Structure 1
Amino acid sequence: MSATRRSTTALIRQSDDPTFAAILDAAVRVIGARGYHGTSVRDIADEAGVSAGSLYNHFGSKHELLVVILDRGLDDLINATEQALYDSTPDPASRLMALVAAHVSNHAQGRLESYIGNSELRSLSAEARALIVSKRDTQQRMFDRVVRDGVRQQVFHASDPQMASRFVVTACTAVATWYRPGGRFSVPELIDQYQQLALRTVGYREEESDAAV
């Protein structure tokens, strides 16, 4: 990657070595465009503007690159979601809206990373897959807990809280498959639409909630 090219991924950390960052950035672009099995180490090195040997100095293999992409992507998603919950008010509707905002924003603004994460889980070793699945489960459990608590408090009226929660997460994740900047919705507008859809999915009744207050 040339010194003038801006990073296309939010997975880069300030503490990253510049060459490491360039390779990771290139890998997101190339794997996102060609798929993991359609991408060679040489393809990534050429895109990053480094030699294959330099790539191996920073990543032991193409598989290790894939693991870093998925692992960092989920860390960013979980951190954003936990922060959103921390900043929200205690009522279940506000907490669900905070979760949706974090999840939709992450997937709308990290479309390539989301595509790689959802399409290339099968390409991971058993050990790496277990790590990534455990982090996905951590994210899902935050939604499960909020929806379950909302039903317990009779703020939500979903007949199957877990199914409703899974439906919301799946819908929010799928934003990455179709959303394009400059399209019909801005990210804030998209978030608002999905928040309303999520509240309807879990059976939120605003009138009842207001009456309880």
Structure 2
Amino acid sequence: AAPGYSSGEAMAALQAVAAKTLPEGYTHEWSGMSYQELKSSGQVVILFALALLFAYLFLVGQYESWNIPLSIIISVPVATLGALVGLWVAGFSLSIYAQIGLVLLVGLASKNAILIVEFAQSRREDGLSIAEAAVDGGRIRFRPVLMTSFTFIFGLVPMVLATGAGAGSRKAIGTTVFSGMLSTTLFGIFLIPVLYYIFQSTREKGSAWRTRRQEKKNHE
């Protein structure tokens, strides 16, 4: 592809030209890397869904709860929305490289949320109220989250500003991950403690309700 364009955009342009110029009865087919990209393009959505599912299930196993991991996984849609906005602003299409970037965001976006939720959960186990634990998680982990996230984000700048041959693919991945991580860092640092409070409260209320129900059955 020409500098500044992804291979997906180049393939789409070639298909449009071929449809207009090839005589009737003639066709074209892709080979090599272009064929592999075209063949795998529809699988990225499935891979994204599977990555999201497995990340959630691993977190369920870690926290032994179906509720708490939701406060972590919800950071992924925030990152995805930020990535799509970044692609739109930069003028990129949702190419195969951008889709790969979205899959990467599943793990990268969850990382920040895990730092906050893990600390909040430990504070809750120390005896703090849910609200105090959530506030402590956001306040004390504020600086570490920003430092690690922006170190990673600034490391993506060379990819976002890439030039030369193959720059389109590097810029597509870089822009996707850069925008996604920026959005989940700026908004997630405030959103995750709120989500932790909501889901932890729901979890404990549900647990208390089940305990009362079991005690009532035992008395009967």
Same fold (TM over 0.5): no
TM-score by length of 1: 0.31
Rg: which structure is higher? 2
TM-score by length of 2: 0.30
